[in-house]
Amino acid sequence: MTPNTRGALFMIGSMCAFTFNDALMKMLSGNLPLAQAVFLRGVVTSLLILALIRARRLPLRPRLDGRDRWFLILRSAAEVGAAYFFLTALFNMPIANASAILQALPLSVTLAGALFLGQPVGWRRLSAITVGFAGVMLIVRPGLEGFTVFSLYALASVVCVTARDILSRMISATVPTLTVALVNAVWVGGAFGIASLFTDWQPLDPVTAVTLCGASVFLVGGYFFAVAAMRSGEIAVVAPFRYTSLLAAMILGIVLFSEVPDTLTLAGAAIVVATGLYTFWRERKLA
């Protein structure tokens, strides 16, 4: 398996895990304040990652040079910013519009990789990303009336996620992926923990607690696969598979919420799948 294929599979795993996490967190929205839910999820996620580190007998505090330490700090700060900006946008504008803006990520990450890391970006790969973006637009079909000042928050989250992914690539390969994921979970959980001090906490019933633990499990997978994806292969190959998140969300909508997609949505999904298959085919041909 080539590094590009590994990176693509890691990205698919990451997007599916994050989408399942989002679905479970959405189920909690009527029971818990956002800050409390994200903080408690962060605590459980951190404990799960710690257990994995122990199970794999990795050092809890690996030796980091000054460069990697700063990259880890900056990456975690970007993750906190991404969570804050996107969640704020999501709660104040139509979800289709917020999702549409976020789908600029494959383009922004690819271009940032070419600009800051010297990653190769051929016209075929850039065309595949652009065609995939067109398919995404068919799925979400954002309305111009929904774009407000909170659209700038969604754009800010795109900038933060782009920075996070580029910094993931810049961290030395000697730093364990689980260590990066742990630092990420602690920073996000800690930031929302501070925010939760200013909200009224709600008691946890058994169903809410189980849902929260399930979201934490998927978040561990999302963190781990996201870091692994950006450390494997070329960014221009890996980036288009971010569109998997919309396909996963569409399937979850059918299964959990009985939301049957219309013809345009299915056409957009077919385009996204086609661009992914083309990228896989192109990678195998180059290999």
pLDDT at 209 (0 to 100)? 93
Q: Which residue has the higher pLDDT, 96 or 180?
A: 180
Q: HEC profile for the chain?
A: CCHHHHHHHHHHHHHHHHHHHHHHHHHHCCCCCHHHHHHHHHHHHHHHHHHHHHHCCCCCCCCCCHHHHHHHHHHHHHHHHHHHHHHHHHCCCCHHHHHHHHCCHHHHHHHHHHHHCCCCCCHHHHHHHHHHHHHHHHHHCCCHHHCCCHHHHHHHHHHHHHHHHHHHHHCCCCCCHHHHHHHHHHHHHHHHHHHHCCCCCCCCCHHHHHHHHHHHHHHHHHHHHHHHHHCCCCHHHHHHHHHHHHHHHHHHHHHHHCCCCCHHHHHHHHHHHHHHHHHHHHHHHHC
| Max CA distance (Å), the chain | 57
Q: What is the pLDDT of residues 223-235, one digit of tens each?
A: 999 999 988 888 8
Structure tokens, 107: 């383009």
88 lies in which domain range? 3-286
Structural domains of the chain, count: 1
Nearest Cα neighbor of 87 from 124, 33, 128, 44 is: 33
Q: What is the pLDDT of residues 29-85, one digit of tens each?
A: 778 888 999 999 999 999 999 999 999 888 877 778 888 899 999 999 999 999 889
Q: What is the pLDDT of residues 155-178, one digit of tens each?
A: 899 899 999 999 998 998 888 899
pLDDT at 182 (0 to 100)? 93
Q: Which residue has the higher pLDDT, 215 or 126?
A: 215
